[in-house]
Protein backbone atom coordinates (compact mmCIF):
# COMPACT_ATOMS: atom_id res chain seq x y z
CA UNK A 1 0.00 0.00 0.00
CA UNK A 2 2.75 2.30 1.07
CA UNK A 3 4.86 1.21 -1.88
CA UNK A 4 1.89 1.74 -4.22
CA UNK A 5 1.36 5.25 -2.90
CA UNK A 6 5.02 6.00 -3.26
CA UNK A 7 4.95 4.66 -6.88
CA UNK A 8 1.85 6.75 -7.72
CA UNK A 9 3.44 9.80 -6.16
CA UNK A 10 6.64 9.07 -8.11
CA UNK A 11 4.71 8.82 -11.38
CA UNK A 12 2.77 12.00 -10.60
CA UNK A 13 6.03 13.81 -9.79
CA UNK A 14 7.65 12.58 -13.05
CA UNK A 15 4.58 13.66 -15.06
CA UNK A 16 4.70 17.06 -13.40
CA UNK A 17 8.43 17.45 -14.12
CA UNK A 18 7.94 16.37 -17.73
CA UNK A 19 5.09 18.88 -18.10
CA UNK A 20 7.26 21.67 -16.73
CA UNK A 21 10.08 20.73 -19.14
CA UNK A 22 7.74 20.71 -22.16
CA UNK A 23 6.23 24.04 -21.12
CA UNK A 24 9.74 25.52 -20.70
CA UNK A 25 10.87 24.26 -24.10
CA UNK A 26 7.71 25.62 -25.74
CA UNK A 27 8.38 28.98 -24.10
CA UNK A 28 11.99 28.93 -25.30
CA UNK A 29 10.92 28.10 -28.88
CA UNK A 30 8.33 30.89 -28.80
CA UNK A 31 10.98 33.38 -27.62
CA UNK A 32 13.44 32.19 -30.29
CA UNK A 33 10.75 32.50 -32.99
CA UNK A 34 9.94 36.05 -31.87
CA UNK A 35 13.62 36.96 -31.91
CA UNK A 36 14.08 35.56 -35.42
CA UNK A 37 11.05 37.52 -36.61
CA UNK A 38 12.60 40.72 -35.30
CA UNK A 39 16.01 39.99 -36.80
CA UNK A 40 14.76 38.82 -40.20
CA UNK A 41 14.58 41.57 -42.84
CA UNK A 42 11.12 42.50 -44.09
CA UNK A 43 10.31 40.76 -47.36
CA UNK A 44 10.94 42.81 -50.50
CA UNK A 45 8.25 45.36 -51.20
CA UNK A 46 6.41 44.35 -48.04
CA UNK A 47 3.40 46.53 -47.46
CA UNK A 48 3.49 48.20 -50.88
CA UNK A 49 0.45 47.05 -52.81
CA UNK A 50 -0.81 49.47 -55.43
CA UNK A 51 -4.51 49.75 -56.18
CA UNK A 52 -4.08 51.76 -59.40
CA UNK A 53 -6.27 50.50 -62.25
CA UNK A 54 -6.21 51.41 -65.96
CA UNK A 55 -8.59 54.30 -66.50
CA UNK A 56 -7.88 55.96 -63.13
CA UNK A 57 -7.38 59.68 -63.64
CA UNK A 58 -4.20 61.34 -62.35
CA UNK A 59 -4.58 64.03 -59.67
CA UNK A 60 -1.92 66.19 -58.03
CA UNK A 61 -0.57 64.67 -54.81
CA UNK A 62 0.86 67.83 -53.21
CA UNK A 63 0.44 71.58 -53.02
CA UNK A 64 -2.51 73.90 -53.27
CA UNK A 65 -4.06 71.93 -56.14
CA UNK A 66 -3.75 68.51 -54.42
CA UNK A 67 -6.62 66.30 -55.51
CA UNK A 68 -7.27 68.26 -58.74
CA UNK A 69 -6.81 66.57 -62.14
CA UNK A 70 -3.34 66.97 -63.60
CA UNK A 71 -3.32 69.33 -66.59
CA UNK A 72 -1.13 68.04 -69.40
CA UNK A 73 -0.82 71.55 -70.81
CA UNK A 74 0.67 72.83 -67.54
CA UNK A 75 3.83 70.73 -67.86
CA UNK A 76 6.87 71.75 -69.89
CA UNK A 77 9.88 69.76 -71.00
CA UNK A 78 11.84 68.63 -67.93
CA UNK A 79 8.96 69.07 -65.48
CA UNK A 80 7.79 66.42 -63.02
CA UNK A 81 4.98 66.21 -60.46
CA UNK A 82 3.89 63.73 -57.83
CA UNK A 83 0.47 62.29 -58.56
CA UNK A 84 -2.09 59.82 -57.29
CA UNK A 85 -4.98 58.04 -58.96
CA UNK A 86 -8.16 59.96 -58.16
CA UNK A 87 -9.95 58.70 -55.04
CA UNK A 88 -7.02 56.47 -54.00
CA UNK A 89 -4.78 59.03 -52.35
CA UNK A 90 -4.53 57.38 -48.93
CA UNK A 91 -2.41 54.47 -50.19
CA UNK A 92 1.30 55.47 -50.31
CA UNK A 93 1.97 52.61 -52.77
CA UNK A 94 -0.09 54.57 -55.32
CA UNK A 95 2.24 57.57 -55.34
CA UNK A 96 3.66 58.14 -58.83
CA UNK A 97 6.09 60.60 -60.40
CA UNK A 98 4.79 61.95 -63.71
CA UNK A 99 7.52 63.34 -65.95
CA UNK A 100 7.50 65.30 -69.22
CA UNK A 101 10.37 64.66 -71.62
CA UNK A 102 10.78 64.66 -75.39
CA UNK A 103 9.51 61.52 -77.06
CA UNK A 104 12.88 61.30 -78.79
CA UNK A 105 14.63 61.22 -75.38
CA UNK A 106 13.35 57.75 -74.52
CA UNK A 107 15.73 54.83 -74.82
CA UNK A 108 15.48 51.17 -73.85
CA UNK A 109 14.42 49.80 -71.47
CA UNK A 110 11.74 52.52 -71.30
CA UNK A 111 8.45 51.01 -72.41
CA UNK A 112 7.53 53.52 -75.10
CA UNK A 113 4.03 52.07 -75.49
CA UNK A 114 3.36 53.15 -71.88
CA UNK A 115 4.28 56.78 -72.63
CA UNK A 116 2.27 59.43 -74.45
CA UNK A 117 3.67 62.54 -76.16
CA UNK A 118 6.69 62.59 -73.85
CA UNK A 119 4.76 61.83 -70.65
CA UNK A 120 6.25 58.95 -68.69
CA UNK A 121 5.43 57.79 -65.16
CA UNK A 122 7.22 55.75 -62.51
CA UNK A 123 6.52 54.71 -58.93
CA UNK A 124 7.60 57.50 -56.57
CA UNK A 125 8.84 54.99 -53.99
CA UNK A 126 12.60 54.44 -53.96
CA UNK A 127 13.60 50.81 -54.43
CA UNK A 128 16.29 51.11 -51.77
CA UNK A 129 14.48 51.70 -48.48
CA UNK A 130 11.23 53.27 -49.61
CA UNK A 131 11.71 57.04 -49.35
CA UNK A 132 9.76 59.26 -51.74
CA UNK A 133 11.91 60.27 -54.72
CA UNK A 134 12.53 63.86 -55.83
CA UNK A 135 13.03 65.51 -59.19
CA UNK A 136 16.28 67.23 -60.12
CA UNK A 137 15.63 69.42 -63.13
CA UNK A 138 18.54 70.25 -65.37
CA UNK A 139 17.54 73.73 -66.47
CA UNK A 140 20.33 73.94 -69.05
CA UNK A 141 19.33 70.61 -70.60
CA UNK A 142 15.84 69.55 -69.38
CA UNK A 143 16.13 66.22 -71.19
CA UNK A 144 19.02 65.34 -68.86
CA UNK A 145 16.96 65.81 -65.68
CA UNK A 146 16.97 62.91 -63.26
CA UNK A 147 15.02 61.36 -60.42
CA UNK A 148 16.93 61.29 -57.16
CA UNK A 149 16.25 59.91 -53.69
CA UNK A 150 17.90 62.15 -51.12
CA UNK A 151 17.71 59.58 -48.31
CA UNK A 152 20.88 57.85 -49.54
CA UNK A 153 21.38 59.52 -52.94
CA UNK A 154 20.14 56.89 -55.32
CA UNK A 155 19.72 58.30 -58.84
CA UNK A 156 17.53 57.06 -61.67
CA UNK A 157 17.45 57.93 -65.38
CA UNK A 158 13.82 58.60 -66.39
CA UNK A 159 14.66 58.45 -70.10
CA UNK A 160 16.07 54.93 -69.72
CA UNK A 161 13.38 53.08 -67.83
CA UNK A 162 14.46 54.69 -64.55
CA UNK A 163 17.58 52.54 -64.48
CA UNK A 164 19.86 53.10 -61.50
CA UNK A 165 22.70 55.50 -62.34
CA UNK A 166 24.01 55.98 -58.81
CA UNK A 167 23.57 55.08 -55.16
CA UNK A 168 22.43 51.94 -53.34
CA UNK A 169 19.04 51.30 -55.02
CA UNK A 170 19.16 47.67 -56.22
CA UNK A 171 16.74 47.88 -59.17
CA UNK A 172 15.05 50.50 -61.38
CA UNK A 173 11.80 52.12 -60.32
CA UNK A 174 8.82 50.44 -61.98
CA UNK A 175 7.15 52.25 -64.87
CA UNK A 176 3.38 52.61 -65.19
CA UNK A 177 1.42 53.47 -68.32
CA UNK A 178 -0.18 56.88 -68.85
CA UNK A 179 -1.98 58.57 -71.71
CA UNK A 180 -3.42 61.99 -72.38
CA UNK A 181 -7.20 62.25 -72.26
CA UNK A 182 -8.34 65.76 -73.21
CA UNK A 183 -6.10 67.95 -71.08
CA UNK A 184 -5.86 65.44 -68.23
CA UNK A 185 -4.10 62.07 -67.99
CA UNK A 186 -5.19 58.55 -67.11
CA UNK A 187 -3.27 55.44 -66.13
CA UNK A 188 -3.23 52.68 -68.76
CA UNK A 189 -1.52 49.76 -67.01
CA UNK A 190 -0.26 48.27 -63.78
CA UNK A 191 3.37 48.78 -62.68
CA UNK A 192 5.87 46.97 -64.89
CA UNK A 193 7.80 45.58 -61.93
CA UNK A 194 7.94 45.42 -58.14
CA UNK A 195 7.47 48.61 -56.14
CA UNK A 196 8.68 49.59 -52.68
CA UNK A 197 12.00 48.71 -50.98
CA UNK A 198 13.82 45.79 -52.67
CA UNK A 199 16.71 45.14 -50.27
S1 LIG B 1 15.72 55.04 -49.59
FE2 LIG B 1 16.25 55.94 -51.47
S3 LIG B 1 18.37 55.89 -51.55
FE4 LIG B 1 17.88 54.91 -49.70
pLDDT in tens, 59-78: 999 999 999 999 999 999 99
Closest of 118, 119, 125, 114 to residue 176, by C-alpha: 114
Do 20 and 102 sit in the same domain of this protein? no
> Which residue has a Cα nearest atom 3 of ligand 1?
152
What's the number of domains the chain is made of?
Answer: 2
In this predicted model, what pLDDT tens digit does every residue of 84-135 receive, in sequence order?
999 999 999 999 999 999 999 999 999 999 999 999 999 999 999 999 999 9
Q: Is the CB of 152 under 6 A from ligand 1?
A: yes
User: Within this chain, do residues 69 and 117 fall inside the same structural domain, yes or no?
Assistant: yes
- Do 140 and 98 fall into the same domain? yes
* pLDDT of amino acid 39: 40
Q: What pTM, to 2 d.p., does this model score?
A: 0.80
Q: Are 35 and 65 in a shared domain? A: no
Query: Ligand 1 centre and the CA of 120: distance in Å?
Result: 21
Residue 129: CB within 6 Å of ligand 1?
yes
The CA 98 to ligand 1 mean position distance, Å, reads 19
More confidently predicted of 4 and 166: 166
The residues, any chain, with a CB within 8 Å of residue 114's CB and separated by 6 or more, are: 120, 121, 175, 176, 177, 178, 188, 189, 192
The SS3 call for residue 124 is: coil
Amino acid sequence: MVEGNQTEKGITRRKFTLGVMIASMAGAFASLFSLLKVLAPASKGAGYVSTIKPGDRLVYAKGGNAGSPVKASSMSLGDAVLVYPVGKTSNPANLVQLIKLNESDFKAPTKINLTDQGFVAYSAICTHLGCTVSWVKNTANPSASITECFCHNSMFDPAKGAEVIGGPAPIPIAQIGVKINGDSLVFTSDFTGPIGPQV
